[in-house]
Structure 1
Amino acid sequence: MVSERVGQYIAKKGVSYYAFENSIGASRGSISKAVKEGKSIGSQVLENILAVYTDLNPTWLMTGVGEIFTENIEIQNKKIEAFRLKTDREIENQQIPLYDIEAIAGLVPLFQDSKSQDPIDHISIPHLPKCDGAVYVTGDSMYPLLKSGDIVLYKEIHDVANEIFWGEMYLIGIDMSGEEYVTVKYIQKSEISGCVRLVSQNKHHQDKDVEISKIKALALVKASIRINSMN
């Protein structure tokens, strides 16, 4: 059944049903309910899914024949996963600087004057959306989608109050009693005025409402790299 295969794809991607539904413009709970109850998914919704998730094999989705992904992007021992929006424009080739945010002392100084910061290396991956930089992930709040040591490639957000895509994954620098706390989270709307809700992929981490004014640096995560073997 198509809905069952949609559920398998979501599980393989490691995204939440909320983020998946939000990304394709579906109502909250509609996809999760269809998957859990084995109900059909409308043709327009399926078209939206295939338009947003271009790595999903349409033949497999409709028939179950073939591979789940249209391509398994691997560069040597690195596994790449891209997180695209409908408005993204792929760039054939770009040199993305990789920064050490611990050496720079956080996202805020990096984003304020990235041109003066020396990257530790550059990453070149063909046909990615535009990225401003890349950093290493620490912590397990987004496990298993991301794990400590993975690299995330990001696009800076300059207008925090007006440029958030709800349900998407962000690299965030938050003011915590005068010190910057850096994390990767989904950002959702909060029921508390003037706040956003930070949501983890790892269910052992509780959601947290944070004042927008406390967010001092923000970037949309566009792709991730996981090192599967170290030779």
Structure 2
Amino acid sequence: MPAIKQLFIYMKANRIRPSELEKNIGLSNGYLKTQLNRNGSIGENIINKIVSYYKDLNPLWLLFHQGDMLLKKEKDTPIENHSISLNGIKLENSISKKTIEIWLELSDFIMEITDVSMEPKYTKSQIIVGKKVMDKNLIIYGKDYMILTAEYKILRRIQKSNIDNSVLACAYNQNVWQEGNLKNILLYEPFDLNLEHVNELYEIVGSICKH
């Protein structure tokens, strides 16, 4: 279940109106219902504002459906049935709750995957974590990045482009159209992206998925 749906469960249980939460953390009126109707994701900045204001809300429950909705004073406990990948190294054992909280705190970008364009590497409901790239000249080809432009936010592997001052944005999903004029053409074709149109760029350094 996406984090936005978890948030609405929390609000209903605690009799918090969407408009009230939006006002408390500085969101525009109607934002939450719009995201809910679109089955959209909640950005890292908004999540931080929510859990900072509503201190009883368990961020692990909100993001990973783990533990109780409301925080309790308890010892650090392992998070079962999850695997964590950091800089390409997978840790399959139980994850410390405190480890996840510290890891998320040190990140610059957190997002829940909502589509299949990057399968099989990234699957729906998986959480990705990124570090902000301050200098676009330091892009490493072959690595995965969250790309933010004025028009869209998209996760892609970046490769070298034949066009000056551009990169080639590639998906992992290699499925093709099965019929019609587009038959045998990739569903998610690579595309050239001019770096001048990139407002923010985050290198994906890790992910958390539930088994």
- When the two structures are superposed, what TM-score results if normalisation uses the length of structure 2? 0.48
- When the two structures are superposed, what TM-score results if normalisation uses the length of structure 1? 0.44
